[in-house]
Structure 1
Amino acid sequence: MTVITPESTLIDRLTAYGENQATATAYTFLDENGEEASTLTYAELSARTDSIAAALRRRVGRGERALLLLPDGIDFMPTYLGCLRAGVIAVPAYPPLPMQAQQRMLTLRAISADSEPTVVVTSGPQELVDTIRDAVPELAGVWWVTADELVRTPPEQAPAERPAPDDIAFLQYTSGSTSEPKGVVVTHRALMHNEELIRVTFGHDEQNRTLAGWLPLFHDMGLIGNSLQPLWLGGHGISMSPLSFIKRPVRWLQAVTNYRANTSGAPNFAYEMCLRRISDEECAGLDLSAWKVAFSGAEPVRAATLDRFTERFAEYGFHSKSLFPVYGLAEATLLVTASAVGAEPVRLTVDPEELQLGRAVPLAGGWPLVSSGTAWKDRSVVVVDPETREQAADSTVGEIWIGGPDLPAGYWRKPEASAKTFEGRILGGDGRTYLRSGDLGFIRDDEVYITGRHKDLIIVGGRNHYPHDIECTVENAHPAARKGCSAAFSVDMSDEETVVVVAEIRANFELTDELIGDFSRISSLAISQHHGINVHEVVPVGPDSVPKTSSGKLQRHAARRAYLAGEYSIVHEGVHV
């Protein structure tokens, strides 16, 4: 019988659970209607993983890359784990669907060129596979194989080589929300550390190890948080595709209900989507009382969203103490800070004018902020002035720097970018290195508050403005605004930095000249009143016009490029107030 120890990797745990709880369900996969489509027991998962590993070893060398272009479903986890067992470096990516999605295609091409895979593992109709292959010249001459073909390979009799802690497990490509995607080199040690950090902070134990979610499996939060954590625990993971959630958000809450999930979460926009698009009739039968950890991360956590979600779903068993703000990023493998299980999220209202000057000064009735929790175990978080590299005082806004053992090894084949991001040193410090997150925030009473991205920061008239605050103002100013679908950014006009907001209009509103003028005027006035900015332009656009990453993060830099290139179908004279 294989025994699990603190040094056990994911592959060690898979072997142990395949022997010790062979018939227990490891994963359940739901179809586009939220119905159960397939399951894998631990024995089945282990057997599929062995077969895939054997097939890969016959044609792919140790340390070579396998690009995984697999939809969310039964093929992904055995293929990913098969790579780890074979010593092949997995490169999870998302099929560029729909094919006309230019940004997704460019992202795939960038990942392919950077990782130089030896094999591409796919599934689905051959015509679709051929179309993808023809559209990505970087993959010409690479071995293309389906997951089904790999699974049919008989497992080897010889035991698989056990990965060492410092071996590379996989390349986790960043979302590309502010730049080209870069491959974060995640070792088995870093992966083990972060999975254990999640286990401890989320309160997972024998009674709390059922996780449900819809986040894409190739993405850090979906893969490490939703899908690998159940394997780490020997628990049960329930997964549906992101499209299934987008089409009908109630399916997420139904999955939590049906499987009595203890943990499930998503970015803030998903909670907003539930509030907007789940009808009272659809709520019939929901029971969210088992949902102990409703984590929210990957974008700013909004106090108003938390309040409205609790109020709306309290009668179905949801409790405000289940709300669980977190902070993480791919460069840290995933989790950095987390709230306390079973406690209300920590909040703070601050003087908005002082915050613009880089100071968090408490003010009753001021701007509401939600803490993303504290650093746990041996993780450390400090705030540093990004220009001087001096450590900032408490309640002073600066760049979030992350320390502690077992951070990823850097970016794949990018030594200069790796040194810049992973080797931050505090001026006058003790010489230890930190991960520079690129995120802005402050620490108060050990609580970490994230205020925005350094590269997204807008500076007008010597004051700092966070784009998500401006976007929130626009989205609350007019009923036609689509929540979570606006992008604020700065542009240079006549040697002066000014602000433009591109905002999507809800599908049930017709984009007429009258609506355009009304929307721009009201939004501009609201921005002026709340932020003291005379914006250059507010541009209403149709649905799905503001670029986002596959995980739902706004790509403000891409929106800015599109605006300056005149790519939006509606561009009109700005309304100045």
Structure 2
Amino acid sequence: MTADCDYSSEIKDKFLSLVDLLEYRARKHPNQNACTFLQDGETEVGRLTYKDLDQQARAIAAKLQNLDTIGSRALLLYPPGLEFIAAFLGCLYAGIVAVPAYPPRRNQNLSRLQAIVTDAQATLALTKASLISNLESSFVKEMELTKLRWLATDSIATNDLAGAWQKPQVTNNTLAFLQYTSGSTGTPKGVMVSHGNLLHNSALIHKCFAHTPNSQGVIWLPPYHDMGLIGGVLQPLFSGSSVTLMSPVDFLQRPYRWLQAISRYQATTSGGPNFAYDLCVRKIKPEQMADLDLSSWDVAFTGAEPVRAETLEQFAAKFAACGFRKEAFLPCYGLAEATLIVSGTQKTALPIIHRVSGTELEQNRVVASAGEEGTRAIVSCGQSWLNQEIAIVDPDSLTLCPANTVGEIWVSSLSIAQGYWNRPEETEQTFHAYLADRSAGPFLRTGDLGFLHNDELFITGRIKDLIIIRGQNHYPQDIELTVDKSHPALQPGCGAAFAVEVNGSERLVIIQEVKRSYLRKLNMKEIVENIRQAVAEQHGIQVYAAVIVKTGSIPKTSSGKIQRYACRSKFLTGNLDVVEDWSENPQGKAKFLHLHTEVESVLQKVLTSKLQK
């Protein structure tokens, strides 16, 4: 599927980088509000105009240029807020590669952050003055982290330094920042995103969402994640519009704050992963809805995890009285390796839901179903936009899949990032794929499974997460949804399904959070029976082990995706925060886990030995 080229002449002719774009906005509309931040998700504590952003970026850049750090990598450790935006743009203005990350909590494991610093070879760390002492003391035991040079950007005198800024030579191909992947299936990798990638993907979002300078955004997504940064912070800059921001923690603590902000600012664009809409359905009370006016909301984007038809229906039904329209939903698909968005549905069109046979889907065949048992409802993630090409490819033969067949999603686009930082082999495999006959390419191999139907893209799962038992394919998200509904004590959207090898055969394991309100009255026998029966009836497979864990303990990515890889690893090493567990063969399970841990320990010693030589 190829989209018509509609890349605006303004982007082609005027701007080579985000630096050019912000300079233009500051000249054209210096006093227009660019971004507002809500403390506690409710109280305005700061605003920045386009001129403010430009001046702060110049001052931060001038300070960085004085440190002679052009081309180096700078770690950005900020809580959500306006300081992060100024620092990110300051890095771009200085010709420094930004590396966004979230400041660790006190006593938090620093292994992921240390891995990012080591991989990126970061030499600088930018943050707020109020955080420096805490961060430095947290890092003191980690060798790589103690080498960082610290700079508090909110202490920089904007008026004194802005005039000293020297504009760097920046082109479309200049590296803008490293977006470290969430690591839902493995070790985080730094995706190299250029200025050209950012401009093209911003144009794609602008086209798909039909944005104008009058658009108004409300964003709670984390700014160090691609959806929050590119879709939430940079898209308004591209569109010449305004955005109101809040911390994800403030949203999660009280989901009402999100819809309250949309109502208060009459936002046109806002969204998040499926779980955010589900949270609103479950947590917002009828009496809170009386003051909500959601009639202005015409782009309710949803992506980053499977979009569930049931959630769309429930949210639209609940908030219709507040003026929300179901056609505002805009399901979309994207990934960091494609900068952000790959596809999205038409604005103001009702979501397209394709009902197919679950049994046939397990054989990679797409067969329409009129509601028979085992029917699966899949929500379209829309079409391609601008000059992109989407292909569905057999991941083994590297040939195009026939119509109505599930395959790997491959993408060719100017939004495709430059590769993985310092990983040439993985870059070649993932970013430079060709069909077997070399008739088309290069493509990005997304690792996601899906199919095209009437030029609409439908996502069915992820290759690495696919569960194969007795030759049958099973999508973990389908099993997780079944488990969700099997007992009222289970926390929706907080479970993981994966396979482990037991005596030479793949067996199914379920990890599931329990609601806090059920902890004292937990009936494990009843829960396990319900889970086993539901999974057997709907998927035809037997559960080998079920582990009930504490609320909030399931590993998730920054965008809310379940980290099945991490869940599986914790299960195998016995590191889950277990409330109660059950196994088909408790003795066998214990031996199995012990053996796995021993093997892992031996492998670790071998690797350590090799590295020390």
Q: TM-score range by the shorter chain?
A: over 0.9
CA deviation profile, 1:367-416 (whole Å, cap 9, x unmatched): 11101111111111111111111111122111111112342110011001
Secondary structure at the residue paired with 1:148? Answer: helix
Deviation at 1:571, TM superposition (A): 5.0
Alignment match, 2:111: 106
Question: Counterparts of 1:431 and 1:20 in 2: how far apart (Å)?
Answer: 42
Alignment match, 1:276: 282
Alignment match, 2:224: 218
Within 5 A, what are the aligned runs for 1:25-424?
A: 25-97=33-105, 99-102=106-109, 105-123=110-128, 124-152=130-158, 154-157=161-164, 159-207=166-214, 209-365=215-371, 366-424=375-433
Secondary structure at the residue paired with 2:150? Answer: strand
On the 8 A contact 1:520/1:575 being kept in 2, the answer is no
Matching residue's letter, 2:193 = V
Question: Counterparts of 1:493 and 1:250 in 2: how far apart (Å)?
Answer: 45
Distance 1:136 1:24, change over 3 A: farther
Deviation at 1:334, TM superposition (A): 0.4
Matching residue's letter, 2:70 = R
Matching residue's letter, 1:417 = E
Secondary structure at the residue paired with 1:508? Answer: helix
Within 5 A, what are the aligned runs for 1:403-482?
A: 403-482=412-491
Matching residue's letter, 1:160 = K
Deviation at 1:15, TM superposition (A): 1.1
Work out whether 1:497 is the aligned partner of 2:506. Answer: yes
Question: Counterparts of 2:143 and 2:152 in 1: how far apart (Å)?
Answer: 19
On the 8 A contact 2:528/2:582 being kept in 1, the answer is no
On the 8 A contact 2:548/2:581 being kept in 1, the answer is no
Deviation at 1:38, TM superposition (A): 0.8
Secondary structure at the residue paired with 2:184? Answer: coil
Question: Counterparts of 1:60 and 1:402 in 2: how far apart (Å)?
Answer: 38
On the 8 A contact 2:59/2:162 being kept in 1, the answer is yes
Deviation at 1:18, TM superposition (A): 1.3
Deviation at 1:158, TM superposition (A): 5.7
Question: Counterparts of 2:412 and 2:145 in 1: how far apart (Å)?
Answer: 37
Matching residue's letter, 1:282 = Q
Distance 1:334 1:368, change over 3 A: same
On the 8 A contact 2:432/2:444 being kept in 1, the answer is yes
Matching residue's letter, 2:516 = A
Question: Counterparts of 1:234 and 1:303 in 2: how far apart (Å)?
Answer: 33
Question: Counterparts of 1:543 and 1:491 in 2: how far apart (Å)?
Answer: 24
Deviation at 1:328, TM superposition (A): 0.1
On the 8 A contact 1:260/1:291 being kept in 2, the answer is yes
Question: Counterparts of 1:445 and 1:229 in 2: how far apart (Å)?
Answer: 29
TM-score scaled by structure 2? Answer: 0.90
Alignment partner for residue 547 of structure 1, among 544, 547, 555?
555
Matching residue's letter, 1:143 = R
On the 8 A contact 1:244/1:251 being kept in 2, the answer is yes
On the 8 A contact 1:511/1:542 being kept in 2, the answer is no
Deviation at 1:320, TM superposition (A): 0.5
Question: Counterparts of 2:464 and 2:21 in 1: how far apart (Å)?
Answer: 40
On the 8 A contact 2:221/2:227 being kept in 1, the answer is yes
Deviation at 1:570, TM superposition (A): 3.9
Deviation at 1:4, TM superposition (A): 5.8
Question: Counterparts of 1:302 and 1:406 in 2: how far apart (Å)?
Answer: 27
Deviation at 1:276, TM superposition (A): 1.0
On the 8 A contact 1:485/1:504 being kept in 2, the answer is yes
On the 8 A contact 2:295/2:324 being kept in 1, the answer is yes
Which moves more between the two structures, 330-339 or 138-147? 138-147
On the 8 A contact 2:496/2:511 being kept in 1, the answer is yes
CA deviation profile, 1:127-167 (whole Å, cap 9, x unmatched): 42223322543122221111223355612346513511111
Alignment match, 2:596: none
% identical equivalent positions: 41
Question: Counterparts of 2:581 and 2:123 in 1: how far apart (Å)?
Answer: 49
On the 8 A contact 1:505/1:511 being kept in 2, the answer is no
Question: Counterparts of 1:48 and 1:402 in 2: how far apart (Å)?
Answer: 37
Secondary structure at the residue paired with 1:382? Answer: strand
On the 8 A contact 1:172/1:186 being kept in 2, the answer is yes
Alignment match, 2:593: none
Matching residue's letter, 1:210 = Q
Secondary structure at the residue paired with 1:393? Answer: coil
Question: Counterparts of 1:547 and 1:144 in 2: how far apart (Å)?
Answer: 30
CA deviation profile, 1:205-260 (whole Å, cap 9, x unmatched): 233x2111111001000000011000111110111001000100011111111111
Work out whether 1:519 is the aligned partner of 2:527. Answer: yes
Distance 1:422 1:78, change over 3 A: same
TM-score scaled by structure 1? Answer: 0.96
Matching residue's letter, 1:91 = V
Matching residue's letter, 1:206 = P
Distance 1:151 1:195, change over 3 A: farther
Work out whether 1:483 is the aligned partner of 2:498. Answer: no
Question: Counterparts of 1:282 and 1:299 in 2: how far apart (Å)?
Answer: 27
On the 8 A contact 1:423/1:434 being kept in 2, the answer is yes
Deviation at 1:68, TM superposition (A): 0.2
Secondary structure at the residue paired with 1:536? Answer: strand
Question: Counterparts of 1:459 and 1:481 in 2: how far apart (Å)?
Answer: 25
Gaps of 5+ in 1: none
On the 8 A contact 1:383/1:391 being kept in 2, the answer is yes
